[in-house]
Amino acid sequence: MRNNIKRSLPPKFIIYVEGRNTEPSYFNLLKRANAMVYPIKIHQGKGIGSCIQFVEDAEGHFNSLNKEDRIKYKQKWLVFDYDGHEDFPLAIKKAREDGFHVAFSSMCIEYWFLLHFINHDGTPIPLSAQSHSKAQIDRLNAFIDKYNKKNPQNRPIEQYDTSKEVKDDLFDLMLSEDSVTHNRRIIDAYRRAKKIHLSKKTKGAEFSESVTTIYELLKELGVILDDGESISINIM
C-alpha cells in the first residue's frame, strides 16, 4: 500500500552574499544542517562595490526570478560587511525596506568566527596593517596556533589564509565543544553575538564596531534552536 502521507519540507531561504570566498564557503558548509540554503554571490565588477549597490543588485536578481521561484522562498537574506563603507547603515535600512533580512557584520564576518573562541565585549578591534579583516584573521589564527599546540595528537587545523575560504577543519572546530565553557563553540558564539547586538541596539548604536547579526540568520535557518530558555544546535 502506497504511503500518501506528505512530509513537510524544510523552508527554503535565498541568501545573497557579498564575499568572494568566505561567505559562500561558510554557508555551503551549513547545508549539512538540513537547511535549504542557496548562497548567491553578487558580482560588482572591478574594485569594491558600495553596500547600496550590493542591495540593489540583489533586489534586481530576486525580481528577475519568475513568480513561482520567488514565492518558494520563505525569506530572502543579504549577508555583507561594513568594511569601512560609509553607506553601510543606509544600505541595511534600504534592504529591510525592500523586504530583505540582513545578516551584517561590523567590521567583517571574521568577527563572527572569532566569537566562537573568545568572549569579546564588542569594542573596536585595533587595525592590523591598516586592515580590519587582517586584525581579526590574526586573532583567529593565534587561537588556531594555540589549539594545535595544546592538541598535538590531533591533525593540525589549517590556518585561515588569504583565500578567506572556510575549510572543513575550521568549520568542525567551530562546532566542537569548548574545553572551558563545555558548550559547543557555535552556541557560545551565538550567545555572545546576540548579547553584543542587543546591547548596541538599546544604545542606538546597532551598527557600531564590533557587532554581527549572523546569529539571527542561523536561528532562522534552524541551525540554532533558541526558545528563550535553552539553546541547542540542529546540525549534522
Q: Is 97 left (phi over 0), alpha (psi -120 to 50) or beta?
A: alpha
CA–CA separation, 133 vs 155, rounded Å?
Answer: 26
Nearest residue to 105 via CA among 181, 18, 20: 18
In the predicted structure, residue 9 carries a pLDDT above the cut 80: no
| Range among 73-87, 118-132, 162-176, 179-193 with highest mean pLDDT value | 179-193
pLDDT, position 5: 43
In the predicted structure, residue 11 carries a pLDDT above the cut 80: no
Show Cβ contacts of residue 165 under 8 Å, excluding neighbours closer than 6 positions. 21, 22, 25
In the predicted structure, residue 42 carries a pLDDT above the cut 70: no
In the predicted structure, residue 112 carries a pLDDT above the cut 90: yes
pTM over 0.85: yes
Instruction: Judge contact between 116 and 233, C-beta under 8 A.
Output: no
**Distances in Å between the alpha carbon of 85 and those of 91, 120, 139, 154, 225?**
10, 23, 23, 40, 33
- pLDDT band at 66, cuts 50/70/90? very high
- pLDDT band at 144, cuts 50/70/90? very high
- pLDDT band at 36, cuts 50/70/90? low
- Cell numbers for 201, please give them: 541596539
pLDDT, position 38: 60
Kindly report the number of other CB atoms within 10 A of residue 178's CB atom: 14
Domain residue ranges in the chain: 12-225
Nearest residue to 179 via CA among 150, 204, 201: 150
Burial class of residue 130, CB neighbours in 10 A (0-12, 13-18, 19+): exposed
Q: What is the mean pLDDT of residues 44-48?
A: 47
Give the rounded distance of the alpha carbon of 40 from its chain centre: 14
Instruction: Judge contact between 157 and 169, C-beta under 8 A.
Output: yes
- pLDDT band at 49, cuts 50/70/90? low
In the predicted structure, residue 34 carries a pLDDT above the cut 90: no
pLDDT, position 213: 98
In the predicted structure, residue 231 carries a pLDDT above the cut 70: yes
